[in-house]
Structure 1
Protein backbone atom coordinates (compact mmCIF):
# COMPACT_ATOMS: atom_id res chain seq x y z
CA UNK A 1 0.00 0.00 0.00
CA UNK A 2 2.99 2.29 0.51
CA UNK A 3 1.46 3.91 3.60
CA UNK A 4 -0.74 2.96 6.51
CA UNK A 5 -4.38 2.36 5.62
CA UNK A 6 -6.98 4.92 6.66
CA UNK A 7 -9.75 2.33 6.92
CA UNK A 8 -9.82 -1.27 8.14
CA UNK A 9 -12.67 -3.41 6.76
CA UNK A 10 -13.19 -6.82 8.28
CA UNK A 11 -15.62 -9.66 7.87
CA UNK A 12 -17.03 -11.07 11.13
CA UNK A 13 -17.78 -14.81 11.01
CA UNK A 14 -14.76 -16.98 10.32
CA UNK A 15 -12.53 -13.90 10.27
CA UNK A 16 -12.84 -11.61 13.29
CA UNK A 17 -14.61 -13.80 15.85
CA UNK A 18 -13.76 -17.27 17.09
CA UNK A 19 -15.63 -20.39 16.04
CA UNK A 20 -17.59 -20.23 19.31
CA UNK A 21 -18.85 -16.76 18.23
CA UNK A 22 -16.80 -14.91 20.84
CA UNK A 23 -14.62 -11.88 20.21
CA UNK A 24 -11.33 -11.96 22.08
CA UNK A 25 -10.29 -9.15 24.40
CA UNK A 26 -7.15 -8.72 22.30
CA UNK A 27 -9.18 -8.11 19.14
CA UNK A 28 -11.60 -5.72 20.87
CA UNK A 29 -8.71 -3.75 22.36
CA UNK A 30 -6.81 -3.56 19.06
CA UNK A 31 -9.84 -2.25 17.17
CA UNK A 32 -10.58 0.30 19.90
CA UNK A 33 -6.98 1.49 19.84
CA UNK A 34 -7.12 2.05 16.08
CA UNK A 35 -10.40 3.94 16.29
CA UNK A 36 -9.01 6.11 19.08
CA UNK A 37 -6.00 6.93 16.88
CA UNK A 38 -8.25 8.10 14.02
CA UNK A 39 -8.31 5.00 11.81
CA UNK A 40 -11.75 4.01 10.55
CA UNK A 41 -12.89 0.46 11.31
CA UNK A 42 -15.89 -1.06 9.51
CA UNK A 43 -17.52 -4.47 9.95
CA UNK A 44 -18.43 -5.90 6.53
CA UNK A 45 -20.62 -8.94 6.87
CA UNK A 46 -23.27 -11.16 5.40
CA UNK A 47 -25.14 -10.92 8.71
CA UNK A 48 -28.43 -9.01 8.90
CA UNK A 49 -28.74 -6.01 11.20
CA UNK A 50 -30.55 -8.00 13.89
CA UNK A 51 -27.52 -10.28 14.38
CA UNK A 52 -25.05 -7.45 14.97
CA UNK A 53 -25.91 -6.96 18.63
CA UNK A 54 -24.14 -10.25 19.38
CA UNK A 55 -20.90 -8.62 18.17
CA UNK A 56 -21.45 -5.07 19.42
CA UNK A 57 -21.94 -6.43 22.95
CA UNK A 58 -18.32 -7.66 22.78
CA UNK A 59 -16.78 -4.56 21.16
CA UNK A 60 -15.76 -1.51 23.17
CA UNK A 61 -16.36 0.91 20.28
CA UNK A 62 -19.54 1.04 18.14
CA UNK A 63 -18.05 0.88 14.65
CA UNK A 64 -20.31 1.07 11.56
CA UNK A 65 -21.27 -2.01 9.58
CA UNK A 66 -21.91 -2.95 5.97
CA UNK A 67 -24.47 -5.76 6.34
CA UNK A 68 -26.31 -8.32 4.22
CA UNK A 69 -23.36 -8.63 1.81
CA UNK A 70 -23.42 -4.92 0.98
CA UNK A 71 -27.16 -4.29 0.79
CA UNK A 72 -27.32 -2.35 4.08
CA UNK A 73 -25.04 0.26 5.66
CA UNK A 74 -25.73 0.61 9.38
CA UNK A 75 -24.86 3.21 12.03
CA UNK A 76 -24.99 1.55 15.48
CA UNK A 77 -24.76 4.82 17.39
CA UNK A 78 -28.04 6.08 15.92
CA UNK A 79 -29.39 2.57 15.33
CA UNK A 80 -30.07 3.79 11.80
CA UNK A 81 -29.80 2.34 8.32
CA UNK A 82 -27.85 4.84 6.22
CA UNK A 83 -28.43 3.05 2.92
CA UNK A 84 -30.35 0.00 1.71
CA UNK A 85 -30.33 -1.61 -1.73
CA UNK A 86 -32.94 -4.40 -1.63
CA UNK A 87 -34.42 -6.79 -4.16
CA UNK A 88 -37.78 -5.35 -5.27
CA UNK A 89 -40.87 -7.59 -4.94
CA UNK A 90 -41.24 -8.10 -8.69
CA UNK A 91 -37.57 -9.09 -8.94
CA UNK A 92 -37.97 -11.48 -6.00
CA UNK A 93 -40.87 -13.10 -7.82
CA UNK A 94 -38.86 -13.68 -10.99
CA UNK A 95 -35.81 -14.96 -9.11
CA UNK A 96 -37.97 -17.38 -7.11
CA UNK A 97 -39.70 -18.55 -10.29
CA UNK A 98 -36.38 -19.31 -11.98
CA UNK A 99 -34.98 -21.09 -8.95
CA UNK A 100 -38.06 -23.26 -8.49
CA UNK A 101 -37.68 -24.32 -12.14
CA UNK A 102 -33.94 -25.02 -11.88
CA UNK A 103 -33.63 -26.32 -8.32
CA UNK A 104 -36.20 -28.95 -7.28
CA UNK A 105 -36.90 -28.82 -3.58
CA UNK A 106 -35.66 -25.25 -3.15
CA UNK A 107 -36.79 -23.50 0.02
CA UNK A 108 -36.47 -19.77 0.64
CA UNK A 109 -36.11 -17.13 3.31
CA UNK A 110 -36.02 -13.36 2.93
CA UNK A 111 -34.40 -10.67 5.06
CA UNK A 112 -36.89 -7.79 5.16
CA UNK A 113 -37.25 -4.45 6.96
CA UNK A 114 -33.57 -3.78 6.17
CA UNK A 115 -32.61 -7.06 7.84
CA UNK A 116 -34.45 -6.47 11.08
CA UNK A 117 -36.93 -9.26 10.25
CA UNK A 118 -36.95 -12.58 8.42
CA UNK A 119 -39.71 -14.52 6.65
CA UNK A 120 -39.08 -18.13 5.69
CA UNK A 121 -40.52 -21.31 4.24
CA UNK A 122 -42.10 -23.47 6.98
CA UNK A 123 -39.38 -26.10 6.46
CA UNK A 124 -36.52 -23.59 6.67
CA UNK A 125 -33.99 -24.58 9.39
CA UNK A 126 -34.01 -21.86 12.05
CA UNK A 127 -30.94 -21.17 14.17
CA UNK A 128 -31.46 -22.09 17.84
CA UNK A 129 -31.08 -18.51 19.11
CA UNK A 130 -33.81 -17.34 16.71
CA UNK A 131 -36.43 -19.86 17.83
CA UNK A 132 -39.53 -17.92 18.84
CA UNK A 133 -37.90 -14.62 17.85
CA UNK A 134 -40.78 -12.22 17.11
CA UNK A 135 -39.01 -10.88 14.01
CA UNK A 136 -38.57 -14.35 12.50
CA UNK A 137 -41.64 -16.17 11.26
CA UNK A 138 -42.75 -18.51 8.46
CA UNK A 139 -44.72 -17.35 5.44
CA UNK A 140 -47.77 -19.21 4.13
CA UNK A 141 -47.44 -18.66 0.37
CA UNK A 142 -45.03 -17.25 -2.19
CA UNK A 143 -47.15 -14.11 -2.14
CA UNK A 144 -45.88 -13.54 1.41
CA UNK A 145 -42.32 -14.16 0.21
CA UNK A 146 -42.69 -11.39 -2.37
CA UNK A 147 -44.76 -8.97 -0.31
CA UNK A 148 -41.93 -6.56 0.56
CA UNK A 149 -38.44 -5.59 -0.65
CA UNK A 150 -35.75 -7.91 0.72
CA UNK A 151 -32.13 -7.03 1.35
CA UNK A 152 -31.28 -10.70 0.88
CA UNK A 153 -32.96 -13.82 -0.47
CA UNK A 154 -31.66 -17.10 0.94
CA UNK A 155 -32.05 -20.47 -0.77
CA UNK A 156 -31.40 -24.06 0.30
CA UNK A 157 -32.13 -27.40 -1.33
CA UNK A 158 -31.03 -30.15 1.02
CA UNK A 159 -27.39 -31.09 1.48
CA UNK A 160 -25.35 -29.56 -1.35
CA UNK A 161 -21.72 -28.83 -2.05
CA UNK A 162 -21.73 -25.04 -1.50
CA UNK A 163 -19.34 -24.22 -4.34
CA UNK A 164 -21.30 -26.29 -6.85
CA UNK A 165 -24.67 -25.09 -5.57
CA UNK A 166 -23.74 -21.42 -5.83
CA UNK A 167 -22.74 -21.97 -9.47
CA UNK A 168 -26.13 -23.55 -10.18
CA UNK A 169 -28.00 -20.70 -8.48
CA UNK A 170 -25.84 -18.02 -10.10
CA UNK A 171 -26.57 -19.47 -13.51
CA UNK A 172 -30.30 -19.47 -12.83
CA UNK A 173 -30.37 -15.80 -11.72
CA UNK A 174 -27.76 -14.46 -14.17
CA UNK A 175 -28.60 -10.93 -15.27
CA UNK A 176 -31.06 -10.47 -12.41
CA UNK A 177 -29.16 -10.82 -9.15
CA UNK A 178 -25.89 -11.68 -7.40
CA UNK A 179 -25.37 -15.10 -5.81
CA UNK A 180 -22.68 -16.00 -3.29
CA UNK A 181 -22.09 -18.09 -0.19
CA UNK A 182 -20.41 -17.67 3.16
CA UNK A 183 -20.86 -21.05 4.84
CA UNK A 184 -20.28 -24.74 4.25
CA UNK A 185 -23.92 -25.69 4.78
CA UNK A 186 -25.25 -25.40 1.22
CA UNK A 187 -26.85 -22.00 1.85
CA UNK A 188 -26.74 -19.52 -1.05
CA UNK A 189 -27.27 -15.80 -0.50
CA UNK A 190 -28.83 -13.67 -3.25
CA UNK A 191 -28.68 -9.88 -3.53
CA UNK A 192 -29.80 -7.34 -6.10
CA UNK A 193 -27.59 -7.01 -9.17
CA UNK A 194 -24.43 -5.07 -8.39
CA UNK A 195 -24.84 -5.44 -4.63
CA UNK A 196 -21.69 -6.87 -3.05
CA UNK A 197 -19.58 -6.19 -0.01
CA UNK A 198 -17.32 -4.11 -2.24
CA UNK A 199 -20.18 -1.90 -3.44
CA UNK A 200 -21.52 -1.27 0.06
CA UNK A 201 -18.06 -0.53 1.44
CA UNK A 202 -17.26 1.76 -1.50
CA UNK A 203 -20.40 3.79 -0.76
CA UNK A 204 -19.37 4.25 2.87
CA UNK A 205 -15.78 5.09 1.94
CA UNK A 206 -17.02 7.81 -0.40
CA UNK A 207 -18.78 9.45 2.58
CA UNK A 208 -15.49 9.45 4.44
CA UNK A 209 -13.48 10.70 1.45
CA UNK A 210 -11.40 7.51 1.46
CA UNK A 211 -10.08 5.89 -1.73
CA UNK A 212 -9.97 2.12 -2.16
CA UNK A 213 -6.16 2.31 -2.18
CA UNK A 214 -6.39 3.43 1.46
CA UNK A 215 -8.44 0.39 2.57
CA UNK A 216 -7.10 -2.78 4.20
CA UNK A 217 -9.63 -5.63 4.12
CA UNK A 218 -9.79 -9.01 5.89
CA UNK A 219 -11.97 -11.99 4.90
CA UNK A 220 -12.39 -15.74 4.70
CA UNK A 221 -15.22 -16.77 2.34
CA UNK A 222 -16.36 -16.29 -1.29
CA UNK A 223 -18.75 -13.46 -0.35
CA UNK A 224 -15.62 -11.53 0.72
CA UNK A 225 -13.90 -11.84 -2.66
CA UNK A 226 -15.37 -8.66 -4.24
CA UNK A 227 -14.29 -6.60 -1.20
CA UNK A 228 -10.83 -8.16 -1.10
CA UNK A 229 -10.34 -7.54 -4.82
CA UNK A 230 -11.50 -3.92 -4.47
CA UNK A 231 -9.43 -2.92 -1.44
CA UNK A 232 -5.93 -1.51 -1.72
CA UNK A 233 -4.62 -4.45 0.30
CA UNK A 234 -6.37 -7.70 1.18
CA UNK A 235 -5.57 -10.27 3.85
CA UNK A 236 -6.96 -13.79 4.17
CA UNK A 237 -7.12 -15.57 7.51
CA UNK A 238 -5.42 -18.98 7.58
CA UNK A 239 -8.76 -20.82 7.71
CA UNK A 240 -10.08 -19.08 4.58
CA UNK A 241 -11.75 -20.69 1.58
CA UNK A 242 -9.27 -21.67 -1.18
CA UNK A 243 -10.63 -18.94 -3.47
CA UNK A 244 -9.90 -16.29 -0.84
CA UNK A 245 -6.41 -17.64 -0.19
CA UNK A 246 -5.79 -17.52 -3.92
CA UNK A 247 -6.69 -13.86 -4.47
CA UNK A 248 -5.58 -12.21 -1.22
CA UNK A 249 -2.41 -10.13 -1.12
CA UNK A 250 -1.34 -11.49 2.25
CA UNK A 251 -2.24 -14.02 4.94
CA UNK A 252 -2.52 -13.97 8.71
CA UNK A 253 -3.40 -16.43 11.46
CA UNK A 254 -6.80 -18.06 11.71
CA UNK A 255 -9.81 -16.50 13.37
CA UNK A 256 -9.26 -18.65 16.47
CA UNK A 257 -5.67 -17.36 16.58
CA UNK A 258 -6.81 -13.70 16.49
CA UNK A 259 -5.26 -13.35 13.04
CA UNK A 260 -6.82 -9.95 12.34
CA UNK A 261 -5.58 -8.46 15.62
CA UNK A 262 -2.13 -9.99 15.14
CA UNK A 263 -1.82 -8.45 11.67
CA UNK A 264 -3.04 -5.05 12.83
CA UNK A 265 -0.79 -5.05 15.90
CA UNK A 266 2.17 -5.63 13.59
CA UNK A 267 1.08 -2.87 11.23
CA UNK A 268 0.10 -0.39 13.96
CA UNK A 269 2.41 -1.11 16.94
CA UNK A 270 1.11 0.14 20.28
Structure 2
Protein backbone atom coordinates (compact mmCIF):
# COMPACT_ATOMS: atom_id res chain seq x y z
CA UNK A 1 0.00 0.00 0.00
CA UNK A 2 1.97 2.97 -1.31
CA UNK A 3 -0.98 5.36 -1.35
CA UNK A 4 -3.18 6.49 1.52
CA UNK A 5 -5.55 3.85 2.86
CA UNK A 6 -9.22 4.12 1.99
CA UNK A 7 -10.24 2.84 5.44
CA UNK A 8 -8.59 2.54 8.85
CA UNK A 9 -9.64 -0.32 11.15
CA UNK A 10 -8.52 -0.48 14.75
CA UNK A 11 -8.96 -2.81 17.65
CA UNK A 12 -9.87 -1.13 20.96
CA UNK A 13 -8.35 -2.82 24.00
CA UNK A 14 -4.57 -2.96 24.02
CA UNK A 15 -4.55 -0.96 20.81
CA UNK A 16 -6.59 2.27 20.74
CA UNK A 17 -7.13 2.68 24.47
CA UNK A 18 -4.40 2.91 27.08
CA UNK A 19 -3.99 0.64 30.07
CA UNK A 20 -6.25 2.87 32.15
CA UNK A 21 -9.03 2.49 29.51
CA UNK A 22 -8.72 6.09 28.33
CA UNK A 23 -8.05 7.42 24.85
CA UNK A 24 -5.42 10.14 24.79
CA UNK A 25 -6.22 13.63 23.46
CA UNK A 26 -3.55 13.05 20.80
CA UNK A 27 -5.27 9.90 19.57
CA UNK A 28 -8.70 11.54 19.57
CA UNK A 29 -7.38 14.50 17.56
CA UNK A 30 -5.63 12.21 15.08
CA UNK A 31 -8.75 10.13 14.48
CA UNK A 32 -10.69 13.34 13.86
CA UNK A 33 -8.12 14.43 11.28
CA UNK A 34 -8.25 11.07 9.52
CA UNK A 35 -12.05 11.07 9.26
CA UNK A 36 -11.95 14.76 8.34
CA UNK A 37 -9.75 13.86 5.39
CA UNK A 38 -12.49 11.59 4.09
CA UNK A 39 -11.05 8.26 5.25
CA UNK A 40 -13.46 6.36 7.51
CA UNK A 41 -12.28 4.81 10.77
CA UNK A 42 -13.92 1.63 12.05
CA UNK A 43 -13.61 0.02 15.47
CA UNK A 44 -13.11 -3.75 15.20
CA UNK A 45 -13.41 -5.30 18.62
CA UNK A 46 -14.29 -8.31 20.69
CA UNK A 47 -16.33 -6.03 22.92
CA UNK A 48 -20.12 -6.28 23.04
CA UNK A 49 -22.29 -3.30 22.09
CA UNK A 50 -22.95 -2.49 25.75
CA UNK A 51 -19.25 -1.73 26.30
CA UNK A 52 -18.88 0.69 23.39
CA UNK A 53 -20.16 3.73 25.28
CA UNK A 54 -16.95 3.67 27.33
CA UNK A 55 -15.19 4.55 24.07
CA UNK A 56 -17.83 6.75 22.45
CA UNK A 57 -18.04 8.99 25.51
CA UNK A 58 -14.38 9.93 24.91
CA UNK A 59 -14.63 10.59 21.17
CA UNK A 60 -15.95 13.78 19.62
CA UNK A 61 -18.30 11.65 17.49
CA UNK A 62 -19.09 7.94 17.53
CA UNK A 63 -17.74 5.80 14.69
CA UNK A 64 -19.03 2.49 13.31
CA UNK A 65 -18.00 -0.70 15.04
CA UNK A 66 -17.53 -4.35 14.17
CA UNK A 67 -18.34 -5.93 17.55
CA UNK A 68 -18.21 -9.36 19.16
CA UNK A 69 -15.26 -10.44 17.00
CA UNK A 70 -17.18 -9.84 13.78
CA UNK A 71 -20.61 -11.15 14.76
CA UNK A 72 -22.27 -7.70 15.00
CA UNK A 73 -21.87 -4.66 12.75
CA UNK A 74 -23.10 -1.63 14.70
CA UNK A 75 -24.24 1.80 13.54
CA UNK A 76 -23.91 4.16 16.54
CA UNK A 77 -25.81 6.98 14.84
CA UNK A 78 -29.01 4.93 14.84
CA UNK A 79 -28.03 2.60 17.73
CA UNK A 80 -28.74 -0.28 15.37
CA UNK A 81 -26.98 -3.55 14.51
CA UNK A 82 -26.99 -3.51 10.69
CA UNK A 83 -25.70 -7.08 10.38
CA UNK A 84 -25.46 -9.99 12.80
CA UNK A 85 -24.18 -13.58 12.67
CA UNK A 86 -25.47 -15.38 15.76
CA UNK A 87 -25.21 -19.04 16.68
CA UNK A 88 -28.52 -20.93 16.90
CA UNK A 89 -29.53 -22.69 20.14
CA UNK A 90 -28.87 -26.15 18.70
CA UNK A 91 -25.31 -25.13 17.76
CA UNK A 92 -24.77 -23.60 21.19
CA UNK A 93 -26.00 -26.82 22.79
CA UNK A 94 -23.48 -28.89 20.83
CA UNK A 95 -20.68 -26.48 21.73
CA UNK A 96 -21.57 -26.53 25.43
CA UNK A 97 -21.86 -30.32 25.42
CA UNK A 98 -18.41 -30.75 23.88
CA UNK A 99 -16.76 -28.24 26.20
CA UNK A 100 -18.31 -29.72 29.33
CA UNK A 101 -17.31 -33.22 28.26
CA UNK A 102 -13.71 -32.42 27.29
CA UNK A 103 -12.84 -29.63 29.75
CA UNK A 104 -14.09 -30.50 33.25
CA UNK A 105 -14.87 -27.42 35.31
CA UNK A 106 -15.34 -25.12 32.30
CA UNK A 107 -17.63 -22.15 33.03
CA UNK A 108 -19.76 -20.64 30.27
CA UNK A 109 -21.47 -17.36 29.39
CA UNK A 110 -23.23 -16.04 26.28
CA UNK A 111 -23.74 -12.67 24.65
CA UNK A 112 -27.36 -12.44 23.46
CA UNK A 113 -29.67 -9.85 21.89
CA UNK A 114 -26.91 -8.60 19.59
CA UNK A 115 -24.52 -8.45 22.59
CA UNK A 116 -26.63 -6.02 24.59
CA UNK A 117 -27.30 -8.72 27.22
CA UNK A 118 -25.21 -11.42 28.86
CA UNK A 119 -26.22 -14.65 30.60
CA UNK A 120 -23.66 -16.56 32.65
CA UNK A 121 -23.29 -19.55 34.93
CA UNK A 122 -23.07 -18.89 38.66
CA UNK A 123 -19.30 -19.45 38.81
CA UNK A 124 -18.63 -16.82 36.13
CA UNK A 125 -16.66 -13.81 37.48
CA UNK A 126 -18.63 -10.64 36.69
CA UNK A 127 -15.99 -7.91 36.76
CA UNK A 128 -17.13 -4.88 34.78
CA UNK A 129 -20.92 -5.19 34.65
CA UNK A 130 -21.71 -5.83 38.31
CA UNK A 131 -25.26 -4.75 39.13
CA UNK A 132 -26.30 -4.11 35.53
CA UNK A 133 -29.80 -5.40 34.68
CA UNK A 134 -28.58 -6.64 31.31
CA UNK A 135 -26.32 -9.18 33.02
CA UNK A 136 -27.94 -12.17 34.70
CA UNK A 137 -26.94 -15.53 36.09
CA UNK A 138 -28.83 -18.45 34.54
CA UNK A 139 -31.12 -20.68 36.54
CA UNK A 140 -29.91 -23.90 34.89
CA UNK A 141 -27.08 -25.02 32.57
CA UNK A 142 -29.61 -25.44 29.75
CA UNK A 143 -30.53 -21.75 29.87
CA UNK A 144 -27.07 -20.85 28.55
CA UNK A 145 -28.06 -22.32 25.18
CA UNK A 146 -31.74 -21.34 25.12
CA UNK A 147 -31.47 -18.28 22.87
CA UNK A 148 -29.37 -17.34 19.82
CA UNK A 149 -26.03 -15.82 20.85
CA UNK A 150 -23.44 -13.81 18.94
CA UNK A 151 -20.71 -15.10 21.21
CA UNK A 152 -20.13 -17.83 23.79
CA UNK A 153 -17.40 -17.32 26.38
CA UNK A 154 -15.55 -20.09 28.19
CA UNK A 155 -13.34 -19.89 31.28
CA UNK A 156 -11.30 -22.57 32.92
CA UNK A 157 -9.54 -21.61 36.11
CA UNK A 158 -5.95 -20.43 35.83
CA UNK A 159 -5.03 -22.22 32.58
CA UNK A 160 -2.56 -20.49 30.28
CA UNK A 161 -4.52 -18.45 27.73
CA UNK A 162 -2.80 -19.85 24.64
CA UNK A 163 -3.00 -23.43 25.88
CA UNK A 164 -6.67 -23.07 26.80
CA UNK A 165 -7.49 -21.54 23.41
CA UNK A 166 -5.74 -24.44 21.67
CA UNK A 167 -7.69 -26.92 23.81
CA UNK A 168 -11.02 -25.27 22.97
CA UNK A 169 -10.14 -25.04 19.28
CA UNK A 170 -9.36 -28.73 19.25
CA UNK A 171 -12.66 -29.58 20.88
CA UNK A 172 -14.73 -27.36 18.57
CA UNK A 173 -12.97 -27.78 15.23
CA UNK A 174 -15.55 -27.57 12.43
CA UNK A 175 -18.27 -26.52 14.85
CA UNK A 176 -17.27 -22.96 15.79
CA UNK A 177 -14.47 -20.37 15.75
CA UNK A 178 -12.49 -19.97 18.98
CA UNK A 179 -9.99 -17.27 19.83
CA UNK A 180 -8.83 -15.13 22.73
CA UNK A 181 -7.99 -11.50 23.48
CA UNK A 182 -6.67 -11.61 27.03
CA UNK A 183 -3.87 -13.25 28.98
CA UNK A 184 -6.31 -14.95 31.33
CA UNK A 185 -7.96 -18.31 30.67
CA UNK A 186 -10.82 -16.84 28.62
CA UNK A 187 -11.82 -18.04 25.16
CA UNK A 188 -14.32 -16.33 22.85
CA UNK A 189 -16.43 -18.56 20.58
CA UNK A 190 -18.27 -17.48 17.43
CA UNK A 191 -20.14 -19.16 14.58
CA UNK A 192 -18.09 -20.92 11.91
CA UNK A 193 -16.57 -18.32 9.60
CA UNK A 194 -17.25 -15.42 11.95
CA UNK A 195 -14.06 -13.50 12.69
CA UNK A 196 -12.94 -9.89 12.80
CA UNK A 197 -11.85 -10.31 9.18
CA UNK A 198 -15.29 -11.52 8.10
CA UNK A 199 -17.06 -8.70 9.90
CA UNK A 200 -14.71 -6.05 8.57
CA UNK A 201 -14.95 -7.47 5.05
CA UNK A 202 -18.75 -7.24 5.23
CA UNK A 203 -18.51 -3.60 6.31
CA UNK A 204 -15.98 -2.79 3.58
CA UNK A 205 -18.14 -4.34 0.87
CA UNK A 206 -20.96 -1.96 1.79
CA UNK A 207 -18.57 0.96 1.26
CA UNK A 208 -16.78 -0.27 -1.85
CA UNK A 209 -13.45 -0.83 -0.09
CA UNK A 210 -11.22 -3.82 -0.79
CA UNK A 211 -8.76 -5.48 1.59
CA UNK A 212 -5.70 -4.02 -0.17
CA UNK A 213 -6.87 -0.50 0.77
CA UNK A 214 -7.34 -1.20 4.50
CA UNK A 215 -4.88 -0.19 7.21
CA UNK A 216 -5.53 -2.23 10.37
CA UNK A 217 -4.15 -2.13 13.92
CA UNK A 218 -4.28 -4.94 16.47
CA UNK A 219 -2.54 -6.64 19.37
CA UNK A 220 -4.06 -10.02 20.25
CA UNK A 221 -4.86 -13.41 18.64
CA UNK A 222 -8.45 -12.41 17.90
CA UNK A 223 -6.95 -9.72 15.62
CA UNK A 224 -5.01 -12.25 13.53
CA UNK A 225 -7.75 -12.86 10.92
CA UNK A 226 -8.23 -9.10 10.40
CA UNK A 227 -4.51 -8.41 10.21
CA UNK A 228 -3.99 -11.27 7.77
CA UNK A 229 -6.82 -9.95 5.58
CA UNK A 230 -5.93 -6.25 5.57
CA UNK A 231 -3.55 -4.76 3.02
CA UNK A 232 -1.46 -3.05 5.69
CA UNK A 233 -1.49 -4.93 9.02
CA UNK A 234 0.17 -3.08 11.90
CA UNK A 235 0.99 -4.62 15.28
CA UNK A 236 1.28 -2.67 18.49
CA UNK A 237 4.63 -2.89 20.30
CA UNK A 238 2.77 -4.56 23.18
CA UNK A 239 1.21 -7.17 20.88
CA UNK A 240 1.04 -10.92 21.41
CA UNK A 241 3.99 -12.74 19.75
CA UNK A 242 1.67 -14.31 17.16
CA UNK A 243 0.55 -10.85 16.05
CA UNK A 244 4.07 -9.48 15.90
CA UNK A 245 5.04 -12.43 13.73
CA UNK A 246 2.50 -11.80 10.95
CA UNK A 247 2.27 -8.00 10.93
CA UNK A 248 3.79 -6.07 8.05
CA UNK A 249 4.77 -3.24 10.38
CA UNK A 250 4.80 -2.28 14.06
CA UNK A 251 4.10 0.89 15.96
CA UNK A 252 4.49 2.12 19.53
CA UNK A 253 2.51 0.56 22.36
CA UNK A 254 -1.04 1.54 23.22
CA UNK A 255 0.23 3.49 26.23
CA UNK A 256 2.53 5.42 23.89
CA UNK A 257 -0.28 6.40 21.45
CA UNK A 258 0.94 3.92 18.86
CA UNK A 259 -2.14 4.23 16.63
CA UNK A 260 -1.90 8.04 16.56
CA UNK A 261 1.86 7.98 15.93
CA UNK A 262 1.48 5.64 12.96
CA UNK A 263 -1.46 7.52 11.43
CA UNK A 264 0.40 10.82 11.77
CA UNK A 265 3.25 9.33 9.77
CA UNK A 266 1.03 7.80 7.08
CA UNK A 267 -1.16 10.88 6.57
CA UNK A 268 1.60 13.42 7.09
CA UNK A 269 -0.09 15.21 9.98
State the TM-score, normalizing by the size of structure 2.
0.99
What residue in structure 2 maps to residue 205 of structure 1? 204
What residue in structure 2 maps to residue 153 of structure 1? 152
**2:58 and 2:85 mapped to 1: Cα distance?**
28
**2:35 and 2:60 mapped to 1: Cα distance?**
10
Alignment deviations for residues 43-68 of structure 1 (CA, whole Å, 9 cap, x no partner): 00000000000000011121100000
Deviation at 1:144, TM superposition (A): 1.1
What residue in structure 2 maps to residue 193 of structure 1? 192
- 1:65 and 2:65 correspond: yes
Residues paired across the two proteins, number: 269
State the TM-score, normalizing by the size of structure 1.
0.99
What residue in structure 1 maps to residue 239 of structure 2? 240
What residue in structure 2 maps to residue 26 of structure 1? 26
What residue in structure 2 maps to residue 176 of structure 1? 175
What residue in structure 2 maps to residue 53 of structure 1? 53
Deviation at 1:90, TM superposition (A): 0.3
Deviation at 1:142, TM superposition (A): 2.2
**1:178 and 1:12 mapped to 2: Cα distance?**
20
What residue in structure 2 maps to residue 256 of structure 1? 255
Deviation at 1:143, TM superposition (A): 2.1
Structure 1: gaps spanning 5 or more residues:
none
Alignment deviations for residues 99-120 of structure 1 (CA, whole Å, 9 cap, x no partner): 0010000110000000000000
Deviation at 1:141, TM superposition (A): 1.1
**1:167 and 1:185 mapped to 2: Cα distance?**
14
Alignment deviations for residues 52-87 of structure 1 (CA, whole Å, 9 cap, x no partner): 000000111211000000000000010000001011
Describe the SS at the equivalent of 1:86.
coil
- 1:84 and 2:80 correspond: no
**1:178 and 1:81 mapped to 2: Cα distance?**
21
Aligned-residue CA RMSD in angstroms?
0.6
Deviating above 3 A after TM superposition, structure 1's stretches of 4 or more consecutive aligned residues are none
**1:186 and 1:144 mapped to 2: Cα distance?**
23
What residue in structure 2 maps to residue 103 of structure 1? 103
**2:176 and 2:23 mapped to 1: Cα distance?**
33
Structure 2: gaps spanning 5 or more residues:
none
**2:240 and 2:206 mapped to 1: Cα distance?**
31
Describe the SS at the equivalent of 1:30.
helix
**1:94 and 1:172 mapped to 2: Cα distance?**
11
